[in-house]
């Protein structure tokens, strides 16, 4: 996340559960392999890409699907980088990689729904973590009051309009104003930790 950086680790053989775009991770891996570092601090110290991913991968996180609907249909991507931000006013945030092809469509709608995935949603998560194709094929969902997709069986959901966006390194930080939300007290969340679901 912005305050808690996203760890790009493998989610089985279906790509990585980061920004919903496996192709972006492939590009990032190539750059990291060439450069050998992901950041340079003011004192000149570098942060190794492998160390960054290994250490940040130790932080367990829930997994979400950020979704909206435009004239071409529903659109969404898997995202770990989500967090509550403010109670008054009610705000949340997520971050999305600059290489995402899904985010521009969502941004154009001005709204989105964050769906918290339940522990039986591993296959659903993998479907939304890859780039391209109809991710909603065979997926049961209904529209929120704002018109964004709420996935059937979601552990919880937060319906938002886009409040602001800010640059954050190789990601865009998106702040959403909450208009509606609910949770399923009977289900358990899908957790991602050290490159695996658990």
CA distance 35 to 19: 22
pLDDT for residue 175: 98
Residue 9 covered by a domain: no
Read off the pLDDT of residues 32-41 as tens digits, 9 standing for 90 and up: 443 444 555 5
Question: What is the tens place of the pLDDT at every residue in 21-79?
Answer: 333 343 344 334 434 445 555 566 789 999 999 999 999 999 999 999 999 999 999 99
Q: Distance of CA 59 to CAs 27, 52, 103, 172, Å?
A: 23, 12, 25, 21
Which structural domain, as residue segments, surrounds residue 67?
A: 22-197
The answer to whether residue 70 is domain-embedded is yes
Closest CA to 1 of 119, 111, 83, 109: 83
Residue 125 sits in a domain whose CATH number is 2.30.110.10
Low-confidence stretches of the chain (pLDDT beneath 50): 1-16, 18-37
Which residues have a Cβ under 8 Å from the Cβ of 61 and sit 6 or more positions away? 1, 4, 80, 191, 192, 193
Tally of domains in the chain: 1
* Residue 42, domain member (yes or no): yes
CA dihedral 10, 15, 20, 26 (to 10 degrees): 90
What pTM did the predictor assign? 0.80
For residue 142, is it within any domain?
yes
What does the pLDDT read at residue 174? 98
Q: What count of residues does the chain have? A: 198
């Amino acid at each position: 996340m912005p305050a808690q950086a996203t760890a790009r680790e493998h989610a089985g053989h279906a790509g990585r559960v980061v920004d919903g775009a496996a192709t972006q991770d492939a590009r990032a891996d190539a750059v990291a392999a060439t450069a050998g570092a992901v950041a340079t601090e003011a004192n000149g110290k570098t942060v190794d890409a492998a160390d960054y991913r290994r250490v940040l991968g130790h932080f367990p996180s829930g997994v979400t699907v950020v979704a909206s609907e435009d004239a071409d249909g529903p659109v969404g991507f898997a995202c770990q980088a989500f967090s509550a931000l403010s109670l008054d006013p009610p705000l949340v945030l997520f971050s999305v990689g600059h290489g995402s092809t899904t985010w521009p469509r969502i941004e154009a709608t001005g709204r989105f729904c964050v769906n918290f995935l339940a522990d039986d949603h591993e296959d659903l998560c993998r479907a939304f973590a890859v780039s391209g194709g109809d991710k909603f094929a065979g997926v049961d969902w209904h529209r929120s009051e704002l018109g964004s997709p709420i996935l059937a069986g979601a552990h919880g959901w937060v319906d938002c309009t886009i409040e602001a966006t800010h640059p954050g390194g190789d990601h865009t930080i998106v702040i959403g104003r909450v208009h509606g939300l609910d949770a399923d007290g009977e289900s358990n969340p899908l957790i991602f930790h050290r490159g695996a679901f658990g």
